[in-house]
């Protein structure tokens, strides 16, 4: 009887530990919980730091795509990153007549894979310190790592740092970045 209780207690502890590990893994983003069973758009809409990104995704008509099966890796610039662009840039991109350009900018932040930071770091190491990251928008980002931080350089030479990594989604992963990445002009 005692052995049976010990085994069932151990099983209950393992099950409880598994449940905690599953839900405790995602960091908060923009003051909001990020749920691994929600898709990229659903979680981004809850982040107070990604209101501009969400508005841009809607204006570009990419909501349905980013709610799709994926997998996607999204390098998600914060509102502060969008605000750092030259004055008027965001307003110009959000105009209906600039939808094609907006789609290009946004899709240069998306990779058709589920790439957690450990996988990106391994690719960087395997490639001698720099790894080319092709995006669905046709851009190629250069990934590097310094002191455990992943950095992405766009085709214009702008470098973004991953500030929050490995935010798991039902259809991929989000890595929060501190700059907007741009395609070559």
Q: What is the pLDDT of residue 71?
A: 96
Report residue 146: phi and psi, to 5°: -140, 125
Going by C-alpha positions, the residue among 111, 177, 169 that lies closest to residue 139 is 111
Give the chain's domains with CATH numbers. Answer: 28-177 (2.30.180.10)
For 65, the enclosing helix (H) or strand (E) is: helix 63-66
Q: Round the average pLDDT of the chain to a whole number and report it.
A: 87
What six digits make up the tokens of 71? Answer: 């997998």
For 90, the enclosing helix (H) or strand (E) is: helix 89-93
Cis-peptide, bond into residue 72, ω within 30° of zero: no
Q: Measuring CA to CA, how many Å separate 105 from each of 14, 37, 47, 68, 91?
A: 45, 27, 20, 19, 14
68-107: pLDDT as tens digits: 999 999 999 999 999 999 999 999 999 999 999 999 999 9
């Amino acid at each position: 009887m005692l052995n049976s209780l010990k085994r069932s207690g151990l099983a209950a502890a393992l099950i409880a530990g598994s449940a905690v590990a599953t839900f405790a893994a995602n960091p908060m983003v923009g003051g909001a919980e990020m749920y691994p069973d929600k898709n990229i758009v659903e979680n981004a809409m809850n982040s107070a730091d990604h209101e501009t990104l969400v508005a841009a995704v809607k204006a570009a008509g990419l909501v349905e795509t980013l709610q799709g099966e994926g997998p996607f890796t999204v390098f998600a610039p914060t509102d502060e990153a969008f605000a750092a662009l030259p004055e008027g840039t965001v307003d110009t991109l959000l105009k209906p007549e600039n939808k094609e350009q907006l789609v290009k900018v946004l899709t240069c932040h998306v990779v058709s894979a589920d790439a957690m930071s450990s996988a990106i770091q391994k690719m960087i190491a395997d490639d001698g310190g720099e790894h080319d990251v092709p995006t669905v928008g046709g851009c190629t980002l250069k990934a590097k790592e310094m002191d455990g931080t992943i950095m992405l350089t766009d085709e214009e030479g702008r470098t973004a740092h991953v500030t929050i990594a490995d935010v798991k989604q039902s259809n991929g992963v989000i890595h929060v970045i501190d700059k907007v990445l741009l395609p070559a002009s």
